[in-house]
Chains A and B, each alone.
Chain A
Amino acid sequence: MHILIIGNGIAGITAARTIRKLSNHRITVISSESEYFFSRTALMYVYMGQMRWKDIIPYESWFWEKNKITLINDHVSNLDEQQKSLHTTSGKHLTYDKLILATGSSSNRLDIPGADLDGVTSLYSIQDLEYIESKSKYLQRAVIVGGGLIGVELAEMLHSRNIPVTFLVREASYSNAILPPEESAMINQQIKDHGIDLRLNTELKSIKGNDQGQLKSIITSNGEEIHCQFVGISVGVHPNISWLENSTIDMKKGILVDEFLQTNIADIYAIGDCAEIRKPDEGRKAIEPLWYTGRMMGEYVAQTICGLPSAYAPGIWFNSAKFFSIEYQVYGEINSILPQGQKTLFWQHSDVKKSIRINYTEDSVIGFNLMGVRFRQEVCEKWIATKTKIEIVLAGLELALFDPEFSSNYANEVREAYLKLTGISVLSERKRSYNSVYTFLKKSLRPSV
C-alpha cells in the first residue's frame, strides 16, 4: 500500500513516523516549503542567533532513508481523487492508495490600505523568516499588530536586534480572550519591561508608503501616525485549502473530517492545521492550529490507516508558550472569564512574574494555569480525569512541581492562598520526589473507582 502525505510539518511527519512504526507500507511525504521536517516553533531562535537552521531539524538525513520514508521537495498542483493521483508543479505524477492532507495553514492578512506594501509580513514559514531577515537591517522602528503568540515572538525577535518595537493590541489587555485578567496583566507588564511600546485598545487602520512605494508609517485606530519600516502581522491563521476548491472534498473553513480524521472521500484523510473536525468534543474547537494537536492527529490517523481504527480523542486540553522569559503551561479548562459554578484559586509570587491558578468546582479540579512555574502534565491530567477534589490536590501539590531541583516549593504558598480564600487549612501530604510521583502515576493506570 502506498501512503502519500502532503505536508512535512509536525502532523504529516508524525503520521509518517507512526505508520512506519506500525507497518511496512510505502510512505511518501511531499512538501514545497522545505526539504526536511523542521520545528516551526523554533524559527524565532534561528533569527535570534540562538540556533542554526540545522539545529531546528529534528532528524538527520539518514533517518528518512533508514526508515524508508521518501521525501519529495515539490508542490502539489492538482489532485484527482477519482483516479487517486496527483500532479506536482515540476511535472511529477504520483498515485496513492491512501492520501493524508497535512497542508497546514497560512497567516491571515489584514484587509486594509497598504497591506501589500513591501515590508509588511507575518511569521509562519521559512520563507517568511528569510523575508524578515532581509528586512531587518537598518530598521528604525517596527510595528507588530495582533495580540497572539506570534506577535510576542516577533516582538522578542526584533527586540533581540535592538530594533524599537511598537506593539498594537486590539484588546484591552494582551490575549485576554484566553488568559484570565491577572495572567494577561502579567504579560502586558512583561512586554513593557522589555522596552516594547505596547499599545492596548489599538488597531491598525492603514499602512502608508512613500512615493517610491516604500513602507513609511502606519495609522492607528486612534488616528496616530507611527513611522516605521516594518510591519509584522499576527492576526491568526487559516487552513491551506484553496488548492482543493475544485475537488469533491467537503470543506468549510478547513477540510471537514469525521472522528477518524477521514474526509468525505474514501482513503483521503486530513490532519493538523488544515483539518476541521465535523463534531468536535465539548469545549474543543473544530480547528485547532497547534503543534500538539497536529502531532496527536498524526498519531491517530496512522493507527487508523494501519488497521487499528482510532477515533480522534485529544483528551484533556493542554498547551504551552513562552512570552519573552515567562513560560506558560495550561492543563484542562481555564476560561478568561470564570463561568458560573466554577471557582478559582490564584497565587502570585510577590517579586517575580510567577503565578499558579487552579480552577475547580465543588466536585473536582478542572484546570491549571501556570506562569513561570512548571507543573507535571501527567499529574495534572490524572487529577482532572479522576475528578479529584481541590483539597486533595492541594494536599498533594508537591507531586505536580516540575521546576528544577532546589527550586522553591510554591505548594505551601498556594495552600496559604487557599486558606486565605476559604478559611480552610490543608496540610502537605506528599513529597516532591520522583518516587512518590511515579507511585502516584502508576496507580492511575488502574481503572479509577
Chain B
Amino acid sequence: MNLKDDTSLSLAATAYPGLTSGQKVFTFIGFTGLMIGLIGISDSLFSTGLTLSISLSFICVGIIGYSYLLYRKQPAGIKNNYVWTRNLTNRGLTAWMIALILSGFYVLLYFFPKTLGLGDQANTGVISLFDPLSHFIKNKPASQWFVYGVLYTLAILVFGFKFLMKYKHSRYQQIRTVSVMFFQLCFAFMIPELLERLNQPSMDLKNMWPLNYYFFFDWNLDQLLKGGTLGIFLLGWGVAMIFIISPILTYFFGKRWYCSWVCGCGGLAETAGDPFRHLADTSLKAWKIERWLVHSVLILVIIMTSMVIYTYITGHSQVFFLNSYTIREGYGFFIGAIFSGVIGVGFYPLLGTRVWCRFGCPMAAILGIQQRFFSRFRISTNGGQCISCGQCSTYCEMGIDVRSYAQRGQNIVRASCVGCGICAEVCPRGVLKLENGSVDLFERTSIAPKSPKGD
C-alpha cells in the first residue's frame, strides 16, 4: 500500500456496500426494459408501439426506482463515498465499456444512420421501433434525430430525478435541475416537434448561435424566411437571443443562466453525467489547453458563419481561396459531430461530463468572456474558513481549481464556471457561495473586502 500513487487508497471491493434487494429489483426491471427494446429492434414482428412503450417505461421505472431507494433515507448533504474506488466512476472496465457503447452510438447516429435502420421507404431496427411514437407526435415516420431526441430527453428526465433525490436538501440544485428538465422537454423536444407537425418552421428556441452553428445556414434561413410570420419571428428571436437577451442575462447572472439552467448539453452533463463530474482534469496544463482550444473553435465558427452568410447574400461560394461549403461541412463533421457528440458525450465516463462545454463550445466561450469581464456573477469565499481540502476542485466539472482561490480568500471569477454550485455543496466548511452583485463589478477578482488572515 502506497499512498503516493495517483489512484485512490482502496481498490478493495469491500469498500462498496453493494445493492439492496430493492435496488436489485429495479436494476432488473431496467435491464428487462432494455432487453424488450432489443427484441423490438431485432424482430420486426415486435417492432410496435407497445414494445417501445413497455421497453422505455421499464427502463425509466428501473432508473427512477433505483435512485429513489438509493437516496431516500440518506441524511441531508452529499456523500461522494466510493467515487474513486468504483469501477464505473474511476475509469474502470465498466466506464470504458460505457464510453465505447456511447461513442459508438454517436458514430452510427451521425455517420451511419442506415445501420440504425433509417430507410428511404420504411424504417427498420431501432428507428422503426420509434415510428409509432413519431407518428403520434408529428404524423411522420421517425428519423435518427427523433430517436436521439427521445432518448436524450428521457435521459435528462430520469437522471434529473436521480439528481433531485441526491441533492434533495438543496433548493438551488432542485430549482436548477427542474429548469434543465423543463427546457429539454418543452423547448428542445416538444415545441420543435409540434411545430413540425403543424408544418411550421421548427426551431429549438433556446439553442442559439454559435452552439446552434447552422442557424445562418442557407436551408435554415430559407426555412425561416419562407415560414411566414412565425418564421420571421423565429429569425428575429434567434438574432435577439445572440445580441440582446443573452448578454443581458449573462450580465445579471453569469453564464450559468444558460450553461447549467437551460442548455441541453449542460442539462445532460448535470443529470446523466453527474456521477462523472470529478473526472475533469484540474491541472494548470488542462486550463491552458482549454483556453487555446475553446477560443480556436470560437474563431472558427465566426469565420465559418461569416463565409456562409457571404455566400447566402452574394451567391459566391468561393471566399478568397476557401470554399464556404467545404468549411461548413468540415465544421459540422469535426466540431458538430465528432467533438460535441462522439467525444463530448461518448467520453463522459473517461474525461468527465463537460469536455465539450469546456474545451469546445463556442457559445460557452462567448458567455465566458462576458462572464469574466462584465458580469455580476462570482463565487465568493467566506473569510479565512478554507481548509484547502480540495473537495471543490475535485467535484468541479469544469476542472477549475476552486481551492486555489478559496484558500487565498479570493472570489472566483472564471470564464469557464457554469455556476452549477456543486463546489458550494461539497465544501465541508461552508466557504463558497454563488452570488450576483454589481457594487464591485471591476474588482471582483480581488481579495474579499476584509480578510486580513485570508492570505
B contact residues, range: 35 or more
User: In the complex, A50→B83 CA distance in Å?
Assistant: 6
- Chain A residues 159-203 with CB under 8 Å of chain B are 160-162, 193-194
Counting CB contacts under 8 A, is B437 at the interface? yes
Which B residues are CB-close (under 8 A) to A51?
Answer: 8, 84, 389-391, 394
Among A53, A320, A327, A408, the residue within 8 A (CB) of B9 is A53
Counting CB contacts under 8 A, is A108 at the interface? no
**Which listed segment binds B: A40-48, A74-82, A239-247, A275-283?**
A40-48
User: In the complex, A372→B89 CA distance in Å?
Assistant: 29
Q: B429, A56: Cβ atoms under 8 Å?
A: no
Q: B77, A58: Cβ atoms under 8 Å?
A: no
In the complex, what's the smallest C-beta–C-beta distance from A331 to chain B, in angstroms? Answer: 9
**Interface code B118-136, partner A: CB below 8 Å = 1, 0 otherwise?**
0000000000000000000
Which A residues are CB-close (under 8 A) to B436?
Answer: 433-434
**Interface code B327-353, partner A: CB below 8 Å = 1, 0 otherwise?**
000000000000000000000000000
Q: B421, A134: Cβ atoms under 8 Å?
A: no
- Given contacts A46-B9, A49-B85, A433-B437, A402 and B453 within 8 Å (CB-CB): no
In the complex, what's the smallest C-beta–C-beta distance from B418 to chain A, in angstroms? Answer: 15
Counting CB contacts under 8 A, is A346 at the interface? no
Nearest-CB residue, chain A, relative to B85: A49
Which B residues are CB-close (under 8 A) to A322?
Answer: 428-429
Among B10, B75, B80, B430, the residue within 8 A (CB) of A325 is B75
**Which listed segment binds B: A265-273, A355-363, A437-445?**
A437-445
Which A residues are CB-close (under 8 A) to B12?
Answer: 136-137
**Which listed segment binds A: B60-68, B138-146, B168-176?**
B168-176
Q: A55, B393: Cβ atoms under 8 Å?
A: yes
Counting CB contacts under 8 A, is A329 at the interface? yes
- Given contacts A381-B383, A404-B434, A444-B450, A53 and B5 within 8 Å (CB-CB): yes
A-B contact count (CB 8 A): 203
**Which listed segment binds B: A98-106, A125-133, A212-220, A422-430?**
A125-133
Among B10, B76, B390, B438, the residue within 8 A (CB) of A136 is B10
Counting CB contacts under 8 A, is A398 at the interface? no
Q: B175, A402: Cβ atoms under 8 Å?
A: no
**Which listed segment binds B: A89-97, A114-122, A248-256, A291-299?**
A291-299
Counting CB contacts under 8 A, is A336 at the interface? no
User: In the complex, A194→B429 CA distance in Å?
Assistant: 20
- Given contacts A299-B455, A402-B433, A435 and B390 within 8 Å (CB-CB): no
Which B residues are CB-close (under 8 A) to A55?
Answer: 390, 393-394
Counting CB contacts under 8 A, is B318 at the interface? no
Q: A406, B172: Cβ atoms under 8 Å?
A: yes
User: In the complex, A325→B382 CA distance in Å?
Assistant: 19
- Given contacts A50-B81, A405-B172, A56 and B390 within 8 Å (CB-CB): yes
Q: A435, B385: Cβ atoms under 8 Å?
A: no
**Interface code A361-394, partner B: CB below 8 Å = 1, 0 otherwise?**
0000000000010101110011000000000000
Q: A324, B430: Cβ atoms under 8 Å?
A: no
- Chain B residues 1-29 with CB under 8 Å of chain A are 1-10, 12, 14-15, 17
Q: A49, B4: Cβ atoms under 8 Å?
A: no
Give the dominant DSSP class at B's interface.
Answer: loop
A contact residues, range: 35 or more
User: In the complex, A314→B430 CA distance in Å?
Assistant: 21
Q: B387, A291: Cβ atoms under 8 Å?
A: yes
User: In the complex, A214→B451 CA distance in Å?
Assistant: 51
Which A residues are CB-close (under 8 A) to B17?
Answer: 162
- Given contacts A55-B393, A137-B12, A137-B14, A296 and B453 within 8 Å (CB-CB): yes
Q: A46, B76: Cβ atoms under 8 Å?
A: no
Question: Which of B81, B171, B175, B434 has the largest number of chain A CB atoms within 10 A?
Answer: B81
**Interface code B397-418, partner A: CB below 8 Å = 1, 0 otherwise?**
0000001100100000000000
- Given contacts A299-B453, A404-B433, A438-B439, A52 and B421 within 8 Å (CB-CB): no
User: In the complex, A352→B168 CA distance in Å?
Assistant: 13
**Interface code A54-96, partner B: CB below 8 Å = 1, 0 otherwise?**
1111101010000000000000000000000000000000000
Q: B170, A404: Cβ atoms under 8 Å?
A: yes
**Interface code B50-81, partner A: CB below 8 Å = 1, 0 otherwise?**
00000000000000000000000001110111
In the complex, what's the smallest C-beta–C-beta distance from B433 to chain A, in angstroms? Answer: 5
Partner-B contacts on A (CB < 8 A): 10, 35, 39, 41-42, 45-58, 60, 62, 126, 129-130, 133-134, 136-138, 160-162, 193-194, 291-292, 295-296, 299, 314-315, 318, 320-322, 324-325, 327, 329, 352, 372, 374, 376-378, 381-382, 402-408, 433-435, 437-439, 441-442, 444-445
A-B contact pairs, 12 of them (CB 8 A): A39-B388, A42-B391, A45-B389, A47-B9, A55-B394, A137-B14, A352-B76, A372-B76, A376-B383, A377-B382, A377-B385, A434-B437
The 6 closest A-B pairs by CB, nearest first: A377-B383, A434-B437, A325-B77, A374-B430, A42-B389, A406-B171
